[in-house]
Chain A
Amino acid sequence: MPPLDVTPTDATLVRQVLAGHTEAFAALVDRYHAACLRVATNLLGNPDDAEDVVQDSFVRAYRHLGSYQERDKFGAWLTRIVVNQCRTRASREARYVPFDHERPAADAGVLADRLSAPPDVEQRERAAELRHALAQLGPEQREAVVLRFGEEMSYEEMAALTGVGVSALKMRVQRACARLRTLLSEQLFS
């Protein structure tokens, strides 16, 4: 007989937290922390800021857990909080991504050297290039790219999360991709 799947659902955990079992919230943190951190890091660029935002988001989610509706996906609800917190932080600090803007743009010769580097180094270099390029995008375009490709959201899910229409989101993604294509060198894009 196969073992029964005893992993509690998000809704069950939320109900347990609302019933006073605060420790059930730890399971939700374990389940969603990595995804939230990835979103925040992609949006803000700075790992420390991202950690702070994710921490604030979980605390905020806990505080407003009573207003969470079980018909909504908990992950989507939480992501909305994270994205909103990122926006708030960005507007408060007037910077969405604190990359070193002094850094020169991708140079074809340098990139050629980097691409011949070992795979993990190459991967890191590429990721750094991407982060640098993302920093050049406007917040709305960056948010669209991160949610669409980083979080694999459908346009309908993105619309529900951001409150922006599907066609507008498609346009944002399209423009963001075009801009990334311009920013990144042909070597990286091929």
Chain B
Amino acid sequence: MKPSMSSFDADREPLPGWMIEALRAPATSRADSRARIMQQVGALPVPRRVALPLSAAGGSRWRRRGALSGIGSVLLTAMLTLMVTVRSGNEAALAARVQPEAIVLGDSTVPVRGPDSLALVLRGKFLDTLYVVEYVVRGRGVQSVSVRREAARPRDLAAPARLARVSATEWRTRALVPREARQVAFVVNDIELAPVPLRAL
């Protein structure tokens, strides 16, 4: 509905009629306005129709970004739930099939290394004592194994250690681990298992 122009009512019509008429009064134009516009336009190249993105062109709502709703969101939720369930199922089955262990064999003294080594050397500490840990994974259907260790101290380089296959059902490797380390996580067939605590021999 267009606003009334006739009379002023403070509640319903906030401007009096003369004011609205003044706002709607035609503005005086220069005589050559049209010619000047057309002169400028004539110097420009002919505009070309811009190809619209699918969303603006009224394409299928399923292919429009941000337009998912109704059954679409239900299906998406179902798919995600299925994916998570399958992955959880895989992880549970794998955890039941393999036995990972991290056994502390003893200590080893090695020259200090890592990003803090210079600071340690300057403080007169040249050697560092680390645990010698043997990682063992036993089980069937294992294609690859690595061990991910939480950084035991700031700026600790906790690079993943890869295990070597020693038999059809056994994978092993030894690694030096800071004495502060408490647990490691085995990644079997690209699935990370629950962390395993280091245990003494």
Contact = CB atoms under 8 A, between A and B. Distances in A.
Contacts of B48: 18, 66
A17 B16 CA distance: 42
- Size category, B interface: 35 or more
A62 B40 CA distance: 10
- Size category, A interface: 35 or more
Contact of A180 (B15, B38, B52): B15
Given A34-B26, A150-B24, A130 B19 contact: yes
B44 interface: yes
A152 B40 contact: no
A50 B15 CA distance: 24
Majority SS at the chain A contact face: helix
A31 to B, nearest CB: 11
A30 B34 contact: yes
Interface of B: 1-3, 8, 14-16, 18-20, 22-30, 33-34, 36-38, 40-42, 44, 46-50, 52, 56
27 contacts: A26-B38, A34-B29, A37-B27, A38-B26, A42-B23, A55-B36, A62-B41, A62-B47, A63-B47, A64-B47, A66-B47, A66-B48, A69-B52, A127-B22, A127-B25, A130-B22, A145-B23, A146-B23, A148-B3, A149-B19, A149-B20, A149-B24, A150-B23, A150-B24, A152-B3, A177-B15, A189-B16
Given A42-B27, A152-B24, 16 more contacts: A20-B46, A25-B38, A29-B37, A38-B26, A51-B30, A58-B41, A63-B44, A63-B47, A69-B56, A123-B22, A126-B18, A127-B22, A130-B23, A152-B2, A181-B14, A189-B16
